[in-house]
Amino acid sequence: MSDKQRITVLGSTGSIGVSTLDVIARHLGRFRVVALTAHSQADKLFQQCQQFEPEFAVLLDADAAQRLQSKITAAGLITEVLHGVEALERVSSLPQVDSVMAAIVGAAGLRPSLAAARAGKKILLANKETLVMSGRVFMDAVRESGSELLPIDSEHNAIFQSLPRDFGRGLDVVGVTRILLTASGGPFRSKALSELEHVTPAQACAHPNWSMGRKISVDSASMMNKGLEVIEAHWLFDAPADRIQVVVHPQSVIHSMVEYADGSVLAQLGNPDMRTPIAYALGFPERIDSGVAPLDLFRIARLDFEAPDLTRFRCLDLAYQALRHGGTAPAILNAANEVAVAAFLDEKLSFLGIPSVIEHALEQISTVPVNCLEDVQEADRQAREIASEHILNRSLSNASPFTLHPSTNT
């Protein structure tokens, strides 16, 4: 049997998936790709199949899977093509798979990530929504199966690196007082609230430090991305909301910090490149080359910090509220945000309309305790329905979606 680490990459055509394969390609003697998955990018997935020759390739979209199958057959590859959510769950729990890179964006990544946890896999978790929507269900599955969980978000990976290995005994026990979660502040960090009324999708997606997909770029611009990370940190490190402090750090060099009872603050620094946390998780507990350039402190010269403006970034405040409320509130927050961001990218909602849609969903839907995945899925369904209806009503009552104000709440 090969001693290579055998990997399924969920979301291999996205930015995290591409970076993961870049690191793997540098260490082909250590890793073997068993399965690659994507939503509908058949051409890109085919190119990856040619390079890595996985046993399985999965597309959510059935038509895209047919196109991929034709290309696979014509190329004489032995890769088996599958499609659908059940296929994603299957390749996440294959007996021959050791590790699963969970990098599918949005709620679609929940079921395959949970399947990997229940199967006891080493999980490289890059999907925020898994913990935001179903933190208790997912963490229970990890504990019950003995799965190893390694966070991929640069911030949570930095926290993981800065904590003692036995932090699972409890933050108080290991002397941790606070988790300091850094945020770049996105492209609108210094803009006045009034300037955000006419923000376009292109402007919101122009992140100053990171190259990311459109949805996560908008989340960064609204700071919902950081709000989701606060909820993730709660589940990953068993930290209450009042011990997770967001710190705006425009240079994105310090990826996060941990404050200890003796006054020490430990930080992880590096260039803003996702290959660093990916390589850390792939090689853990060893360190392997990521392809990232060394950090030049003399070129950076300065590091700045400031408190987040919760008036400008209402999404962050709403995320803290959802975490404190508990139960299905984070799932409602996440689903409403996904709907609102999609509407903004389609120019059917203003940028400042995003938090208003989320707040409306949180107000309209009763939260319940999360005892099973169905509780989460039902909250997700209701939130999407309420958010979509609210966006439609707003568009009918406004001449232009780009003249909405943040105080609008019908």
The pLDDT of residue 192: 84
Cα dist from 217 to 25, 209, 260, whole Å: 27, 11, 32
**CA gap 265, 249 in Å, rounded:** 15
CA atoms within a 13 Å half-sphere pointing along the CA-CB vector of 136: 15
Query: Cβ distance 353 to 404 under 8 Å?
Result: yes
Q: Omega before 285 cis (within 30°)? A: yes
Specify the DSSP element, H or E, that contains 361. Answer: helix 353-364
Over the chain (410 residues), what is each successive 10-residue block's mean pLDDT? 87 95 97 97 97 97 95 96 96 98 87 96 93 93 96 97 95 98 89 86 77 81 94 97 96 96 98 96 97 95 94 95 96 96 95 96 96 93 97 74 39
The pLDDT of residue 385: 97
Local structure of residue 351 (DSSP, 8 states) = T
The pLDDT of residue 407: 37
**CA gap 404, 382 in Å, rounded:** 24
How large is the C-alpha radius of gyration of the chain?
21
**CA gap 110, 376 in Å, rounded:** 10
Query: Cβ distance 254 to 303 under 8 Å?
Result: yes
Pairing type for strands 176-183 and 254-260 reads antiparallel
Which residue segments constitute the domains of the chain, with CATH numbers given?
5-151 (3.40.50.720)
Q: Which of 253, 282, 254 minimizes the C-alpha distance to 123?
A: 282
In 3-state terms the chain splits into helix, strand, coil percentages (rounded to 5) of 50, 15, 35
The pLDDT of residue 208: 66
Amino acid code (one letter) for 261: A
Query: Cβ distance 383 to 360 under 8 Å?
Result: no
**CA gap 39, 51 in Å, rounded:** 19
**CA gap 8, 37 in Å, rounded:** 8
Q: Which of 14, 39, 213, 26 minimizes the C-alpha distance to 103?
A: 14
